[in-house]
Structure 1
Amino acid sequence: EFEEKKELSALIMLSPVQDPSRFGIAVMEGNKIIKTIEKPKEPPSNLAIIGLYLFRKDIFEGIANIKPSWRGELEITDAIDWLIQHKGTVEGHIIYGWWKDTGKPEDLIEANHKILDEIIEEFKIEGTVEASSVIQGRVSVGKNSEVVNSVIRGPVIIGDNCTISNAYIGPYTSIGNGVMIENCEIENSIVMDEVKISNLSFRIDSSVIGKKVEIIENDGKPKGVQIIAGDLSKVIVSR
């Protein structure tokens, strides 16, 4: 459709949302977008720009002609507005099906639920599961991964080259490649590549753990918690 409509400078995917002030918003007349606003305090519509665009090469000229916003960033909404004012027509296509902004950890976890619920044929055991382990439900174990003396309750996806030892992996957990989890419990979480988690006396729940993170617990004294957290991290400790 976009290729056939040569008069279009861009085709932007939109979706109605309940909290439009969190998003870039489009104002429409018919199928045409007449204005876009980035995270408006008083949104003129509830049509969020969901991050899926079809542009012609004119967009690069638009980017070259805009200035950073009050946030200090070049906003894609400003580049789209430049197209509207200087080039051709920009149309919006409204998506009414399921769509999720994953800008927050809880959004990522919800999207992970959705994906694991809808995967049917992707669950398969390609690694090694020792006889001492228990696999329940839909569980995928990647190539060269090993599950030893552990309980895995699906839906769960474990990537390649992982070691799961003396552990409990609960439902709705996605584990990346090269992960080591031993002597601990985790569920309803996303664990990215090359993470090491070991010897925890508590269960990890509803968490998003980034690449190459190490989470360990020791019995040394004095008792305390050492936290090394990157920019924009969020640490929640329950007592």
Structure 2
Amino acid sequence: MKALVLSGGAGTRLRPITHTSAKQLVPVANKPVLFYGLESLAAAGVTEVGMIVGDTAAEIEEAVGDGSKFGLRVTYIPQEHPLGLAHAVLIAHEFLGDDDFVMYLGDNFIVGGISGLVDEFRETRPDAQILLTHVPNPRAFGVAELDADGQVIGLEEKPQEPKSDLALVGVYLFTPAIHDAVRAIKPSWRGELEITHAIQHLIDQRADVRSTVIKGYWKDTGNVVDMLEVNRTVLEGQEPRIDGEVDEASQIVGRVVVEAGARVTNSRIVGPAVIGAGTVVGDSYVGPFTSIAENCRITESELEFSIVLRDSSIDGVGRIESSLIGRHVEVTPATGTPSAHRLVLGDHSKVQIRS
């Protein structure tokens, strides 16, 4: 079995962060979202990976390399324009050949991995197997309709009148039967070849299409709220570790990771939280569910339930919460602003805030 990992797309819901960075490489718990998916594939025994890349190809290739650090062999497949998930399957046919494969959306996050699903598919080999989960806003997703026996009888992409609350999770398993299906469909009103249409074609041809409703945690990390929520979930499962320096005037409470080369002085860190390598935290409070990446500087500030990307500084701004702060950002005091702040800052931003 092979894998097809989608790591293109514009990431419009995470702008301005994704103006200068691939959405799949935005970190949660100081590790890119994409890496969690690649690790899940390796754990499931899938080693041959075709990676669909677009405008951010150079950044993705630099981060992933040949895949060997994940125990994978990665082949990069360029997609000039994001023309839909089924289009990705279409252009990857030469790589996939006649092998079964798992298609994994690189900005999706599934707690517990996909090993059980892959094992089940290998044993039963339906023409297609999809993952579903109950969501409160099915209009934002591909939605499945099941009959009384739980059989998939219909799929719709972002329907105005959903027939269920079962959304497709960004992991699909296929036999080579899907190749005829993606060639048979036409672009949707969005101008894209929809994978839901290809799977519906299989259903219409009486192919064996099965579904699994997952009980565990799943998120599409395409927006700031979901990114912060995934960060919270990952941090809750981490083991505490102090490899950097923490002075006697500081207090570390709960599941806190201080990476090697980091330094904490006269500060209080309440976990779960992670302080990246080379980062300095001084005279500050870092609260639960916060990830601070490498080479940052936090001084005379409070930070909670937030993600700070590398090489950024926050100095004397009082309290920041529920925020995603990009790379090379400078946050400093200014007059006339409230003492509580919620920020979404792109890379190389400069913001002045009054504490």
Quickly name the TM-score band, shorter chain normalised.
0.7 to 0.9
Distance 1:76 1:163, change over 3 A: farther
**Displacement after TM superposition at 1:174 (Å):** 1.8
Distance 2:177 2:354 in 1: 52
Q: CA deviation at 1:13?
A: 0.8
Distance 1:178 1:31 in 2: 51
Structure 2: gaps spanning 5 or more residues: 1-119, 338-342
Q: Assess, with a 3 A threshold, how the Cα gap between structure 1 residues 66 and 180 changes in structure 2: closer, same or farther.
A: farther
Question: Does 2:267 align with 1:160?
Answer: no
Query: Are 1:216 and 2:331 counterparts?
Result: yes
The Cα of 1:147 is off from its aligned counterpart by: 1.6
Counterpart-to-counterpart distance in 2, 1:228 and 1:31: 41
Contact 2:324 2:345 in 1 (8 A): no
Closer, same or farther: CA 32–113 of 1 in aligned 2, 3 Å: same
Higher helix share: 2
Q: Which residue of 1 aligns with 2:197?
A: 78
Q: Secondary structure at the match of 2:200?
A: helix
Gaps of 5+ in 1: none
Aligned equivalents of 2:354 and 2:183: distance in 1?
A: 48
Deviation per CA, 1:6-39, whole angstroms, max 9, x where unpaired?
3x12111111223221211011233432221111
Change (3 A) 1:185 1:60: farther
Question: Which residue is 1:126 aligned to?
Answer: 243
Matched residue, 1:35: 154
Q: Does 1:170 align with 2:287?
A: yes
Query: Is this contact kept in 1: 2:325–2:345, CA < 8 A?
Result: no
Identity of aligned residues (%): 40
Match of 2:141? 23
Residue 165 of structure 2 corresponds to 46
Query: In the superposition, relative to structure 1, how do residues 215 and 67 fare at CA in structure 2: closer, same or farther (>3 Å)?
Result: farther
Kept after mapping to 2: 8 A contact 1:31/1:93 = no
Please tell me whether the aligned partners of residues 62 and 82 of structure 1 are also in contact (alpha carbons under 8 angstroms).
Answer: yes
The letter of the residue matching 1:28 is: L
Partners of 1:195 and 1:68 lie apart in 2 by 42
Q: How far apart, CA to CA, are the structure 1 residues paired with 2:316 and 2:183?
A: 51
1:198 lines up with 2:314 in the alignment: yes
Q: Secondary structure at the match of 1:4?
A: helix
Q: Show the counterpart of 2:305.
A: 188
Select between 165-174 and 26-35 the one with higher mean Cα deviation. Answer: 26-35
For residues 102-141 of structure 1, give each alpha carbon's deviation from its aligned partner in whole angstroms, at most 9, with x where no partner exists. 4432233233333333x15x21111121233221222111
1:108 and 2:227 matched: yes
CA-atom RMSD, angstroms?
3.2
Letter in structure 1 aligned against 2:223: K
User: C-alpha distance in 2, partners of 1:133/1:65?
Assistant: 64
CA distance in 2, matches of 1:127, 1:133: 13
Higher RCO by CA contacts (8 Å cutoff, separation 6 or greater): 2
> 1:196, 1:50 → 2: CA distance?
33
* Number of the residue aligned with 1:96: 215
**Deviation, structure 1 residue 205:** 0.5
Q: Which residue of 2 aligns with 1:14?
A: 132
TM-score by length of 1: 0.78
Q: 1:98 offset after TM fit, Å? A: 4.0
CA distance in 2, matches of 1:75, 1:209: 33
Counterpart of 1:16 in structure 2: which amino acid?
H
Instruction: Output the CA distance in 2 between the equivalents of 1:115 and 1:155.
Output: 9
1:3–1:129 distance in 2 versus 1, CA, 3 Å: same
Query: Cα deviation per residue 1:70-116 (whole Å; 9 max; x = unaligned)?
Result: 23433322232233345831111112344444443223323333333
